Amino acid sequence: ADDGKAQHDTRKLSKPDRMRKVQKHKDNGTELFKGKNYIHATKAYKEALTHCSHFFDLSPEDQEEVNGVKLSLYNNLALCWTKLDNFDQVFKCASEALALEDKNTKALFRR
């Protein structure tokens, strides 16, 4: 019988396990993007970002790693939104990328 735990609780994943989930969604988004399925790619990238927001108490090195992945995700999202002609979202995602790395050339170009 279903005891309400059918959906796996991901709130307490270890950093390596959560990073694997982030990478899985990022890779999925990239495959969807390559197939020109931009809407679904944005959903995969957003799911990866959701997992990125659940890292807590990271060492400086781990935080830098997570920020690098987030930077890539925001740049990928900006590119998807460009393909979908949603320039408000392009600006928003590029701004998020620049908040992580203020001289990021991809984000500067898209913004």
Q: Any idea what the CATH number is for the domain that residue 44 is in?
A: 1.25.40.10
What is the span of the domain harbouring residue 28? 15-110
| 99 inside domain | yes
| 3 inside domain | no
| 69 inside domain | yes
| 2 inside domain | no
- The whole-number pLDDT of residue 102 equals 93
| 51 inside domain | yes
Helices (H), the chain: 15-34, 38-52, 60-83, 87-100, 105-110
- CA atoms of 5 and 31, how far apart (whole Å): 30
CA nearest 69: which of 57, 51, 81, 82?
A: 51
- CA atoms of 9 and 33, how far apart (whole Å): 28
Per-residue pLDDT tens for 39-71? Answer: 999 999 999 999 999 999 999 999 999 999 999
CA of 22: how far to CAs of 4, 105, 108, in Å? Answer: 25, 23, 24
| 7 inside domain | no
The domain total for the chain is 1
| 42 inside domain | yes
Highest averaged pLDDT of the listed ranges 10-19, 29-38, 52-61: 29-38
- The whole-number pLDDT of residue 6 equals 40
| 73 inside domain | yes
